[in-house]
Each structure stands twice: as structure tokens, then as C-alpha cells.
Amino acid sequence: MAYDFLGLTNDVNRRLNEVELTSITFASAVGFYSSLKEGVNSALRTINHQEFEWPFNHILAEEELSAGVTRYGYPSDAKSVDMDSFRIKRDATLGNETKRLRILSYEDYLDKHVDDEYNTGDTSIRSIPTHVFRSPSQEFGVHPVPDKDYPLVYEYYTFPADLILHSDVPTVPEQFRSIIVEGAMYYAYMFRGDNESSQLSLQKFNQGIKDMRGIYINRYEYLRDTRKAF
């Protein structure tokens, strides 16, 4: 069975001994079958809500800065932006090398540099940015004000949209297919009023998410002693 919206929904159907949907009947499914589709999406939403930085939701973004413009909006699907990842990308035409931007607190920006944002007449204060700051309004800003349209690269974690088409594929890797299905089973049993089975599926679902967190999130960094031996 393909790993897509239809395949996941039919995984639940098979476990419940229900007639499976097809690519033709999927879109028009109503009643119990419609609730199964919503159950799959609910399970995926729960998984994606559990962590801000699931690696399978990682996005490498590239944006062109505009000369004279300090602030830029986050992508509409951004859940968590990695402020440590901002860098100006090498551009042979502009003559700049790749350079990582250092983080500037918003308070320091307001205290020391905010006038540059409004001083549009003095182009001498513009240069290749060296710092990035996070504003309170779902924006990031760069300092100094760009003097050219530099290419900017940064990384963020998205919150995926719901599955809609029968062929839509979740961002969660297929190896965790059974966890998604267990979450959808919880909602299916709830729809049927089978509280005992729903709670059992919920326990398995939560344990599955815990296992995912153990694989992807709960990792320990080791420090390496770089001191020279005497």
C-alpha cells in the first residue's frame, strides 16, 4: 500500500475490517470514512505539535535582501526559525563571500542601530550585513542596512499543512507509519464510542511519539578537549 493519505486511511480501514476507499471514492467519502480521514490528519497534527524542530520538517530557505531594506517577514509556514543559521551566500557578481551573521538582540538593535532603519538618505551607512535580529512581529532584520541585493540563506522548521488529496504524502517518514495509524485509530474508536480501545490506542500513540523523540530529539553533545598535552 502506497504511503500517502489514501494508504494511511485504508490502514485504519483494514484494522477495523471496513471496506477500503479508492482514489475515486476518497474525495467524496462521508460519515465514518470522513472521520477516518480527519483522524489521520489529527494524528499528524499531534506529532508535528510535539516538537518545534522535527528534522523531517526542516527547510533551507533562500531570500534576496533588498538594498536599503532592514526587515523581512518569516515564511508563512514557519514554526521555528533558527537564528543561528543565517548567512550571506557567496555571490561572484556582487563580489562577496559566504559569511555567517551574528545574532543581535532586539533591545541592542533598538538602543544602538535603529536610526539607520529610518535614515534613508545616508547611503554611506549601508554595507554587507554582519548581524541578524529577531523582532516581536514575526520578522527578522539585518544590520547594517544592505547596500546591495545580497542572497541570504537561513533554516527554519515548518508546520506542515493538512493532507487533502488522496496522493498527498506526510512529512513524517514512512518508518513511523504505524504510529500515525495508531493515532488515527484513537479517533476512529472515539467516533465509535469504544472508549477502552481508544485509550489503548492513545497509549500506543503517545509511546510511539516518545520513541520518535528519543531517535530525533533527545541527543547529547559531547565536548572534546582541545588543550595541547605537555
Q: How far is CA 117 from CA 68, 121, 126, 195, in A?
A: 8, 10, 10, 59
Residue 52 has a pLDDT of 87
pLDDT (tens digit, 9 = 90+) per residue, 3-52? 999 999 999 999 999 999 999 999 999 999 999 999 999 999 999 999 98
Tell me the C-alpha distance between 134 and 120, whole Å.
21
Indicate if the pLDDT at residue 226 is higher than 60: no
Tell me the C-alpha distance between 183 and 39, whole Å.
7
Q: How confident is the model at residue 230 (pLDDT cuts 50, 70, 90)?
A: very low
**CB neighbour list of residue 90: distance below 8 Å, 6 or more residues apart:** 96, 97, 98
pTM: 0.83
**CB-CB contact of 152 with 64 (8 Å):** yes
**CB neighbour list of residue 170: distance below 8 Å, 6 or more residues apart:** 5, 8, 44, 160, 163, 180
